[in-house]
Chains A and B, each alone.
Chain A
């Protein structure tokens, strides 16, 4: 069974979106990137992000991620904040520790692209 199937597929992503988004909006280190009028659109982007790091179906390339994040000039601090909120979300959902590690590893694998280095 794949990681994505193990943690529950799309319903798990749906459950995670609001929890993760609430944590991000409450986090002073990064909330300004996500504070827009268009709450729906942001939630849809969070879903794309979570689907990807859960090992679900996606077609993002490293280049896409580089282009998509370049304008934000992100640093290590921002990246760590996202990973922390992600791990806390997964814990809250009762995801197993090994699976959380695997998810963090997927996120870390695109770190250089996201931080544009």
Chain B
């Protein structure tokens, strides 16, 4: 009999029984739908043990990398240690290694790397602000690359009335400790082939995961074209332009375009890569067909929804669209 460990529970599978059926028979609650491997609602994670190939059929590469599997299609040969796919990780303590504004509204934080991650994933920060009165939880995407950087880099957008961002800007100092939870999310580099064109589109601090994904792809030898489009309302909101310029210089396959959404003439003349106008129109004009591309989109939820739909309708497969949307918070 094959044994399944699920938290403190142990389930013994009958001959030919799926992980889902075994767990349900033992009264464990697992969301499920079609029981045929199509709807993916019974997806779980196996931290240990061999996942049968059939249990990952139809999953994205990113999901396979994270050891997700479909419990209804999983008839394992050996013991598996499994958990819910959305279960929260433990809190880890990490010290602040660097802290500084990189433009008027973005705070760059570098933290001690206390867990392994894939660039583009995100983490949660749990922090008491207002003299310990309010506990905030905030999600930030990871801009660094573990193989290159010996820190975790985050870009914190400073919001005028933002509890956490104001606290981080005014009170957080190098050497302080933050409570982190992560890594989370599936917005990271996992191209099926190194020649597939990548299209990365981000607004504001949506640049953070994209710069991580671009550098990760380049260091993994991605040879296909990589087009990064960074949109912002005003010209002064662009940041890390030197770093991006260096990538353009070092890697012929890498391109950057800054799209300034306000009509700012000084912006257009300031940089050879910069254009004025609407990001949706820019993408439509310059990428009339997104067929065969892998697309990453990051920013506010309304932007992510609209641009995902646009690139899907212009040809990208739904499986090739990776999105990371930021929730509004105070």
Contacts and interface: CB of A to CB of B under 8 A. Distances in A.
Interface stretch (A20-28, A85-93, A103-111): A20-28
B309 to A, nearest CB: 6
Interface stretch (B33-41, B165-173, B262-270, B275-283): B33-41
Contact of B313 (A13, A25, A36, A45): A25
A46 to B, nearest CB: 8
Contact of A48 (B38, B308, B312): B38
Contacts of B40: 41, 44
A23 to B, nearest CB: 10
A59 B301 CA distance: 34
Give the interface SS of chain A, mostly helix, strand, loop or mixed: helix
Contact of B36 (A14, A43, A51): A51
Contact of B34 (A21, A26, A42, A51): A51
B323 A44 contact: no
B318 A43 contact: yes
Contacts of B313: 22, 25-26
A12 B176 CA distance: 55
B4 interface: no
Interface magnitude class on chain A: 20 to 34
Contacts of A51: 34, 36, 38
Contacts of A52: 34
Given A25-B312, A37-B304, A39-B308, A48 B33 contact: yes
Interface string A33-66: 0011111111111011001100011111000100
B34 A48 contact: yes
B39 A48 contact: yes
B74 to A, nearest CB: 15
A63 B228 CA distance: 47
Interface string B18-61: 00000000000000011110111100000000000000001010
Contacts of B39: 44-45, 47-48
Interface string B293-306: 00000000100110
A59 B34 contact: yes
A9 to B, nearest CB: 12
Contacts of B304: 37
Contacts of B301: 37
A17 interface: yes
B44 to A, nearest CB: 15
- In this complex, the member of A14, A39, A64 whose beta carbon has the largest number of chain B beta carbons within 10 angstroms is A39
Interface string B189-211: 00000000000000000000000
Q: Which 9 A-B pairs have the closest CB atoms?
A: A48-B39, A43-B318, A59-B35, A44-B40, A57-B36, A48-B38, A51-B38, A48-B34, A47-B38
Interface of A: 10, 13-14, 17-18, 21-22, 25-26, 35-45, 47-48, 51-52, 56-60, 64
Given A17-B318, A40-B60, A58-B36, 5 more contacts: A18-B312, A25-B312, A38-B323, A41-B40, A42-B318
